Structure 1
């Protein structure tokens, strides 16, 4: 369920060369920090703020540059993929080989893979999501910023008026885009970093929940509640069933968690920890070391730095 545009690798390309090329818009983003002088190697994901849904993957090996798109990529993603392919081909003095098409020169490719192609291509494969639900309760679609989880909740939400193929695809794409850039549309929303922690149960994903902040509750195995010097690990599904929480559903597995007042937070901690009396101190938000035996593979080993930089 992917589409590839291949460019032969005649030479290395730096991120600076690629992003400054005449074919590439000056507002293109990359999903990780890179240096302009760094050579494009391995895997990178490119996207456009507020326009991309899945983004555009670029994989580089010794022989080719592989520009990849996935189902429910937006029209902007398809157009970005075409422009990246053109830029790489120009820098490499190479031809372009789109999937299901002949090898093309730059001029031939630019004429054929234009805005009309991008607009129609956004429909590719979107309908297959319905069939995938016959095998699984949800389908994870990695987005340009974060995952989107398609399932019966989203299907029912966007299908109430029996949309046609084009309407269905556009609605799924819009739902994905909403999740990608939600911190810019929901006032005061914080997005804690998900952490892979090593527990007796094995390596599992956790998210830290602190009081008085509106949070994106992402899909994880556990949530971590912090009280004084103590850390409480709670099963995410059990945590979500607590009747005092205010949750706004976004997709099959992700929610906006409304701020939990301090008093209620302590009561929730008491509920899950079975403490005889709630503690009276909660550490404020900040990049402070939380003393714990939990080991993680988080970047730089600083797993307590869970707020997005």
Structure 2
């Protein structure tokens, strides 16, 4: 199978350029120079606490907390949402920051335009939990949806950055355990490779507006605590043949474009239907900043169209979309 890649040209807009400069000046130094100590990683949780005020869900969105015992989540229901189609959303943040609040607006927007409900997962992260626990929590949430009677053909697993990593590993674990895989995967600027040396030599790594890729080597050591002798959990290193159709997006000048490009190659080798959109000049997970980045709304429309097509749940909205 040939790799399927689309380049979205014509950007970025003037608003997107201004936001890119803001992220480069205000956010990149924080990520680049803060020590990766347990106390500093705990402090990173402030991003999620403040997001409820700065990035609230759109008006009319219903939020219902969910407990999985050791971790939490929330149902995100846009006005008029139908329960037949569900998005399992796994937030990004490098496995140590962000959470339900930082991604509530993005999840609600994707769910509304997909005519779906969404289950957003607050999986455990560093410094309290290594990667193996984050992966187990994400899989437990998916297994819970199946146990509640949601049909796999109407479940889409979506995630950004670190959440994209979990979207792939959750579907792969389901296949390995004999469970049905979801109807599709949506991965926004996904982390798919834990080999920092390969990424460091990539031409776009140093141009990223706010992700300091040079820190990923140290982060990897924390993430793989207890897994040092196990096979690599990274999606690019696993057997991908059982995966459902995949839709990925990334910016043209971001560090994790390396991961998206590499994942496209591996998906093509495995014969998995896939599509990668590369958006010219856009930053890492620009969809989360729709409004400040106008192109984010267009990207969300593309994501929603893919989700509606990939699932079988009909609705009156679909007929009009």
Band of TM-score, shorter chain: under 0.3
User: Which is greater in Rg?
Assistant: 1
TM-score normalised by the chain length of structure 1: 0.26
TM-score (norm 2): 0.25
Highest RCO, 1 vs 2 (Cα 8 Å, sep ≥ 6): 2
